[in-house]
Amino acid sequence: TTYDVGFLVGSISSTSINRRLSKALVKLAPQAGLNLTEIPLVDLPFYSADNDGAIPAEAASFKEAIEASDAIIVITPEYNRSVPGVLKNALDTASRPWGQNSFAGKPSAVIGASVGAIGTAVAQQHLRSILSFLASPELAQPEAYVHMREGLITDDGEVTDESTTEFLLSWLTAVHTHIAKTLSPVS
Ligand code: FNR
């Protein structure tokens, strides 16, 4: 089975290394039975409960795209040992109005790239905490911390290193297995 997976990129930087990682994942995904499509978060207004009665159009289509996906991959940098504000805003938007949490029961997986060696590990722990509160069944293992060095992934998402390619493919395969198990559990 090929699954349709939406992904969020937790950086809106024009030179984002996490966007570069996302392009690599998009290219490799079909080999793991996944079809990856970005769900953009850059145009979302700041979440406010004031708008719960009349959800902004951008927020409504964001929530619909999450709900229509078989699973969600979150690809994020670490900002000050946590998730970037743009990503938290997107997750808050998806979680509301109360009772209409778009992540409920939706399988998810997290990955991130940093220039620092332990980069994104702390952000990913925060992200896992948020996703579990949102009742999203998460891929526990393997964890995926991509240490981005110059030239590892080209601007158009070509991975230049064999072991990184293999790692990303095995991670995507684990995501596929996680989705299959979550969506059709064996009784
Ligand atoms: C960072 N960076 C960073 N890196 C890290 O490993 N741990 C951290 O806590 C932080 N904190 C942090 C805060 C802020 C405000 C910025 C702008 C950056 C460095 C970060 O990993 C690096 O800038 C990446 O390139 C960010 O990812 P994108 O935006 O390129 O995808």
Query: Does ligand 1 come within 6 angstroms of the Cβ of 11?
Result: yes
Each residue's pLDDT tens digit, 74-123: 999 999 999 999 999 999 999 999 999 999 999 999 999 999 878 899 99
* Top mutation candidate among 78, 149, 155 for ligand 1, by most atoms within 8 Å of CB: 78
Q: What pLDDT was estimated at residue 27? A: 98
Ligand 1 atom having least distance to the Cα of 19: 31
Q: Which residue has the higher pLDDT, 160 or 186?
A: 160
- How far is ligand 1, taken at its centre, from the CA of residue 183, in Å? 34
**Residues paired with 13 in a beta bridge:** none
- 72 close to 106: Cβ distance less than 8 angstroms: yes
Q: Is 18 in the pocket of ligand 1 (CB under 6 A)?
A: yes
How far, in Å, from the CA of 117 to the mean position of ligand 1?
12
Distances (CA, A) of 99 to 63, 104, 132, 138, 187: 13, 9, 16, 20, 28
- Write down the ipTM of this complex: 0.99
Whether pLDDT at 185 is above 80: no
Mean local confidence (pLDDT), 68-74: 98
* Distance (Å) from CA 79 to ligand 1 centroid: 5
The CATH code that applies to domain 3-183 is 3.40.50.360
Q: Is 13 in the pocket of ligand 1 (CB under 6 A)?
A: yes
Distance (Å, rounded) from C-alpha 13 to C-alpha 20?
11
Task: For residue range 122-167, list pLDDT tens digits in order.
Answer: 999 999 999 999 999 999 999 999 999 999 999 999 999 999 999 9
Q: Is 80 in the pocket of ligand 1 (CB under 6 A)?
A: yes
Residue 187 has pLDDT above 70, yes or no: no
